[in-house]
Amino acid sequence: MLNAEIMQDAEQRRLAWRCRRGMLELDIVLQRFVNEQFGGLTLAEMQIFDEMLELSDNDFWELIQSATQVKYEADVQNVLNKLSIASQQNRQGES
């Protein structure tokens, strides 16, 4: 395994641990996001996601839910779009 792959794997595990939240809906969306979308993130997007994890559960949830209504900087929008996909999959699973 290359050093970059080892670092990305370690970073994914660290971020996955940080995705454990108190709000069940957010916890499910974030775990799905890490499992399905994280491998495709650029370094800039990983840093943005890391910063998003500093938000409170309610603020983070609102940000994900408004991803299609508000336009953000390209890297932020890319992360939010991927989170939104995970959120939509969660809602479809509830139906």
CA atoms within 13 A on the CB side of 48: 19
**Domain spans of the chain, in order of start:** 3-94
| DSSP H or E stretch at residue 26 | helix 24-36
Q: What is the pLDDT of residues 41-76, one digit of tens each?
A: 888 888 899 999 999 999 999 998 887 677 788 889
CB 45 within 8 A of CB 79: yes
DSSP annotation of 23: S
The pLDDT of 80-91, averaged and rounded, is: 82
Query: What topology does CATH give the domain 3-94?
Result: DNA polymerase; domain 1 (1.10.150)
Task: Report pTM.
Answer: 0.76
**Amino acid at residue number 61:** W
